[in-house]
Structure 1
Amino acid sequence: MDKVWPVRDLPAGGGKYRASDYLEVGGGMAANAAVAAARLGADCAYWGRAGDDEAGLAMQRQLVDYGVDVKQFRLIAGARSSISAVIVSQDGERMIVNYRGANIPDDTSWLPLQRVMEAAAIHADIRWVEGASAIFAAARSAGIPTVLDGETATEAAFAAVLPWTDHAIFSEPGLRSFAGADSLHNDANRRAALAKARALGCRVAAVTRGSRGTLWLDGEGFHQQASFAVTVVDTTGAGDVFHGAYALAMGEGQSVAQAMRFASAVAALKCTRQGGRAGIPSRAEVDEFLVRQ
């Protein structure tokens, strides 16, 4: 659950700051990606876990409101849901403080993995390593493309999930946590870091860089998708939205280059509007935007 305070400037130290508004909205990388895919027209389901507390119930209700199937979104008795404080400045930058929750078991035995073959594509984030590994392994066996949100994680987490991943899309902090502090110094280092991910079994390894676009490495070489020039209002959730759009594109059979362009456009349009989920564009808006580019 994201608790959002819009402010003029991000806090630079201790003290009191005045917010222009206050919002409570469901968040989470994979959950936001699911909302993005649903908003863009996909028949989408979210499999995950939260506590059976007020935040968990609210997140479940909101996903339903966005048209996401939550039959496999489990609310665990006695567990505490993950909650983030999100401070958003006028220029669209944000500061996030996250409480990861408590008493949420890692057990995957309840996941209906036989249903994976019904999907056109599978997306997961790196937070629930056991769940992502289980569903990606099932997807690999069924020939279903998988997309990983490579956010900041431990070496062990990446080692468990990347061998089952077809498309690993890292944030810059995520790539740094995977490949080391030098991985972002220049394109040669970025390419080496992405090659390290491909060596573990990924077909495509990419890193999103906000206004500087997206770089990716596949069997044909090193590529770049430039970002689209837009007036930024709020970057909250842009990376999650990118992942949801990319996974949808994979499910539709788009090429990697087409999917990168499509996902970049969806994320750019989201940044022109306030809110993570509220700012997600419709498919018609994205198609119209791309025609003008």
Structure 2
Amino acid sequence: MQSAPQEALGHKVVGVGSCGLDYLAQVARFPQPDDKLRTENLQTQGGGNCANALTAAARLGLKPVLISKIGGDAIGDGIISELENDGVSTEFVLRAKGHPSPFTYIIVDREGGTRTCIHTPAAPLEVDDVSPSLIEGALHGAALVYFDGRLAEAALQVAKAATAAGIPVLVEAERLRPGLNELLAHADYVVTSAKFPQAWTGEASLGDALLSTFQRLPHIRWMATTLGSRGSVFLGQAEALQNGDSIPTIRLDDVLDQLSEQMRESKADLHDEPPACTTASGVDIREGQSAAAEGAIRLQWRRDESTLPEVRQKADAAAAAASISNADSRRASEYNRTGSMEECSGDLPIARVIAASAAVLPKDAIVDTTGAGDAFIGTLLYAICHGMPPEKSLRLAAVVAAKKCTTVGARGGLPQRSSLSDMLFL
């Protein structure tokens, strides 16, 4: 993938965002209202999007530094200890005396293959908490800064400092959050969930939502979107060719359909390929496939203006629903998308499009998807710092995410670099 500037290239990455404790209860099926179920497995381990992603990056060989805030309690002591043991520096994790640390109840549904999270936040990271000296110390020598979209007001101060220092910024857009729009305005790289683009833009199709999102990001180099079992999509800037008129023009939805068909047609018997890694229980995980649009293409989008009210209505409804789920309905307007819908109609200047499949492993080997997206992002942090090409980066990230899914919790299945095939990195 496009790498950080050569003068900044290194192993240090800074993450700003959530960390906490996860209580994971695995049950046979998700409970009905007023149900009583017994757990099949109960675990307690560290959590939080940012902390999970940095743990994945640390196990691959980076030197992550976390900026966050937790309580001054025994739970917080355990959070710090677990991160430090994994090689994540907590020098800039603040402790709020008299406040509890954040925690999340997670119900892992074995029958349905889902996980449901109920989060209890702690004291927020305030703007005054991230002093100039803290920011300077954390960013010194960093190759990349990652934001998980939480703690937005304080995170924005770090993002501004990183931009001023020429340090690339990666922002996670998992779901609508207050202040996320401002963070995205500083992003060189963005990783979105499958649901975010359509919620943010109100677009009905995935391709139109991806394109609409991409066009609203003023400094974007590339955007990756995770699609769960369907793999991932990469959309990046490409240099314009001298003869721009010869570049084909096509809708992004059509490109994605073509790439998916290419992967289906060229699919070899991946079960005969050497495994990319093997789990503790002996399950082999194999690298998936990727397909790229041939050369640079011009992505086309012609809006039917009669649909504009419906698109806006969907985006507004998604923002309202997100504010309610966060018990924050009074700030619903802050969850809304940025930019006007009219500005996003037309052609995107030259772009690169790549699709990648998920890694290959038996379906019954998938135990828990909690933290799969964090594992994916942690791997992309590694890929950026090492200048890996996007096709290789997406396949490596899929393998790391798949390995994570073979155990309960966000971190237990994250692989060490030494446990992965060297072919993944060549």
TM-score normalised over the length of structure 2: 0.63
1:186 lines up with 2:205 in the alignment: yes
1:149 matched to which residue of 2? 172
Partner residue of 1:133 out of 156, 165, 168: 156
Q: Distance in 1 between matches of 2:138 and 2:102?
A: 27
Partner residue of 2:406 out of 255, 269, 272: 272
- Asked whether the 8 Å contact 1:197–1:205 carries over to 2, the reply is no
- Asked whether the 8 Å contact 1:166–1:203 carries over to 2, the reply is yes
Partner residue of 1:28 out of 48, 52, 58: 48
Partner residue of 2:397 out of 220, 244, 263: 263
1:171 lines up with 2:206 in the alignment: no
SS in 2 for 1:84: strand
Partner residue of 2:182 out of 151, 160, 163: 160
SS in 1 for 2:179: helix
- Asked whether the 8 Å contact 1:80–1:104 carries over to 2, the reply is no
Q: Mark the runs of 5 or more structure 2 residues left unpaired by the alignment.
A: 1-20, 238-350
Relative to 1, partners in 2 of residues 1:49 and 1:249: Cα closer, same or farther, differing over 3 Å?
same
**Which amino acid in the other structure matches residue 168 of structure 1?**
V
- Asked whether the 8 Å contact 2:70–2:123 carries over to 1, the reply is no
2:358 matched to which residue of 1? 227
1:55 lines up with 2:75 in the alignment: yes
**Which amino acid in the other structure matches residue 160 of structure 1?**
E
SS in 1 for 2:64: coil
Partner residue of 2:63 out of 43, 56, 63: 43
SS in 2 for 1:15: coil
Relative to 1, partners in 2 of residues 1:82 and 1:196: Cα closer, same or farther, differing over 3 Å?
farther
> Structure 1: which 4+ aligned runs deviate by more than 4 Å?
none
Offset at residue 86 of structure 1 (A): 0.4
Offset at residue 45 of structure 1 (A): 1.5
- Asked whether the 8 Å contact 1:210–1:227 carries over to 2, the reply is yes
1:105 matched to which residue of 2? 126
- Asked whether the 8 Å contact 1:270–1:279 carries over to 2, the reply is yes
Partner residue of 2:39 out of 14, 19, 24: 19
Q: Which has the higher strand share?
A: 2
**Which amino acid in the other structure matches residue 93 of structure 1?**
T
How far does the alpha carbon of each residue in 1:64-99 deviate from its partner, in whole angstroms, 9 at most, with x for none? 121211111111123332211001122542111111
Q: What RMSD over aligned residues (CA atoms) do the two structures have, in Å?
A: 2.2
Q: Distance in 2 between matches of 1:26 and 1:210?
A: 22
Q: Distance in 1 between matches of 2:158 and 2:421?
A: 31
> How many correspondences in the alignment?
286
- For the pair shown, which has the larger CA radius of gyration, 1 or 2? 2
Q: Distance in 2 between matches of 1:40 and 1:281?
A: 8
- Asked whether the 8 Å contact 1:123–1:146 carries over to 2, the reply is yes
- Asked whether the 8 Å contact 1:230–1:272 carries over to 2, the reply is no
SS in 1 for 2:192: strand
How far does the alpha carbon of each residue in 1:42-61 deviate from its partner, in whole angstroms, 9 at most, with x for none? 12221111111232222111
Q: Distance in 2 between matches of 1:235 and 1:42?
A: 24
Offset at residue 114 of structure 1 (A): 5.0
- Asked whether the 8 Å contact 1:147–1:243 carries over to 2, the reply is no
1:9 matched to which residue of 2? 29
How far does the alpha carbon of each residue in 1:174-208 deviate from its partner, in whole angstroms, 9 at most, with x for none? 3344323x3xx43432333332343x322212221
Q: Distance in 2 between matches of 1:286 and 1:14?
A: 44
**Which amino acid in the other structure matches residue 134 of structure 1?**
Q
After superposition, residues 192-203 of structure 1 pair within 5 angstroms as 192-198=211-217, 200-203=218-221
Partner residue of 1:95 out of 116, 122, 137: 116
Relative to 1, partners in 2 of residues 1:222 and 1:187: Cα closer, same or farther, differing over 3 Å?
farther
Q: Which moved more, 1:5-14 or 1:30-39?
A: 5-14
1:286 lines up with 2:308 in the alignment: no
Partner residue of 2:104 out of 56, 79, 84: 84
Q: Distance in 1 between matches of 2:45 and 2:148?
A: 19
- Asked whether the 8 Å contact 2:198–2:209 carries over to 1, the reply is no
2:383 matched to which residue of 1? 249
TM-score normalised over the length of structure 1: 0.89
1:206 matched to which residue of 2? 224
Q: Distance in 2 between matches of 1:225 and 1:113?
A: 37
Offset at residue 4 of structure 1 (A): 0.7
Q: Distance in 1 between matches of 2:211 and 2:120?
A: 33
SS in 1 for 2:51: helix
SS in 1 for 2:95: strand
Offset at residue 289 of structure 1 (A): 7.6
- Asked whether the 8 Å contact 2:198–2:206 carries over to 1, the reply is no
**Which amino acid in the other structure matches residue 254 of structure 1?**
M
Offset at residue 119 of structure 1 (A): 1.4
- Asked whether the 8 Å contact 1:117–1:144 carries over to 2, the reply is no
Offset at residue 102 of structure 1 (A): 3.6
SS in 1 for 2:63: coil
Partner residue of 2:236 out of 178, 193, 218: 218
Q: Which has the higher contact order (CA 8 A, sep 6+)?
A: 2
**Which amino acid in the other structure matches residue 139 of structure 1?**
A
